[in-house]
Amino acid sequence: EVQLLESGGGLVQPGGSLRLSCAASGFTFSNYAMNWVRQAPGKGLEWVSTISGSGDSTYYADSVKGRFTISRDSSKNTLYLQMSSLRAEDTALYYCAKSFTGGVAVTFDYWGQGTLVTVSS
Amino acid sequence: EIVLTQSPATLSLSPGERATLSCRASQSVSSYLAWYQQKPGQAPRLLIYDASNRATGIPARFSGSGSGTDFTLTISSLEPEDFAVYYCQQRRNWPPVTFGGGTKIEIK
């Protein structure tokens, strides 16, 4: 059974940093691209970032480019999102999502339950 | 960036009725469109991928159609558990991956 468990969210001041983690199990982690998708309170879904299965290729939304870094550790089956220079508009529930097929596919077939990031002074 | 526009924003229907949700793209996405369902307090769930293919475990009452710029998600007969928010998402031209604004199906 595929499981994705996010952690690392919390309250952070504007300009601060936070690292999110997503522990994956139930599939061959290195075979699939992984993704972060966020949802501001009461709002819709916003794609944040994607990393290839090998970790060699990364992609970002313009809204986070230069501030967020996606990475993965296949020895730990864990996905990360390092967030810096955080802004109030980054406040959201951050979901980790598995790509549906191999390659760098961006259809998301499994999602974690999310970790909440609140940026506020 | 490809913009996805979903309509209507809210659909008020009764159990057993047919639901028809629309997603329109600002430019062609071929068939690279997915649909997700999200219930309150839950993560999204993949329903349909590549416009018309049901994901694993999705009941046959859910169907997707369309190509190019116009897509439809149809629920043939609403069950109580189908009242939720539905999002479309394109992967034809990315980054960025884009989602529609969502359609909420509420109980009439």
Tens digits of residue pLDDT in B10-63: 999 999 999 999 999 999 999 999 999 999 999 999 999 999 999 999 999 999
Chain A hits for B51, Cβ within 8 Å = none
Q: What chain A residue is nearest to B102 in terms of C-alpha separation?
A: A44
Nearest to A34 by CA among A75, A4, A68, A76: A4
Chain B hits for A62, Cβ within 8 Å = 96
Instruction: Say if the Cβ atoms of B97 and A111 lie within 8 Å.
Output: no
pLDDT at residue A101 in the model: 84
Give mean pLDDT, residues A31-40: 97
**In the predicted model, is pLDDT for residue A105 greater than 90?**
no
Nearest chain B Cα distance for residue A14, angstroms: 25
B49 vs A37, A46, A100: nearest CB? A100
* B39 at A interface, C-beta within 8 A: no
The span from the CA of B56 to the CA of B3, in Å, is: 27
Residue that has been written with the tokens 């290839």 in this structure: A52
Q: What residues does B104 pair with on adjacent strands?
A: B10, B85
Nearest to A90 by CA among A53, A39, A45: A39
- What percentage of residues in chain A have a pLDDT greater than 70? 100
B43 vs A44, A50, A113: nearest CB? A113
The span from the CA of A40 to the CA of B69, in Å, is: 27
Q: What chain A residue is nearest to B54 in terms of C-alpha separation?
A: A109
Residue B9, both tokens: 């924003």
Nearest chain A Cα distance for residue B16, angstroms: 27
Give mean pLDDT, residues A82-110: 94
Residue B86, both tokens: 């539905």
CB-based contacts of A42: which residues, under 8 Å, 6+ apart?
A: none
Instruction: Say if the Cβ atoms of B94 and A100 lie within 8 Å.
Output: no
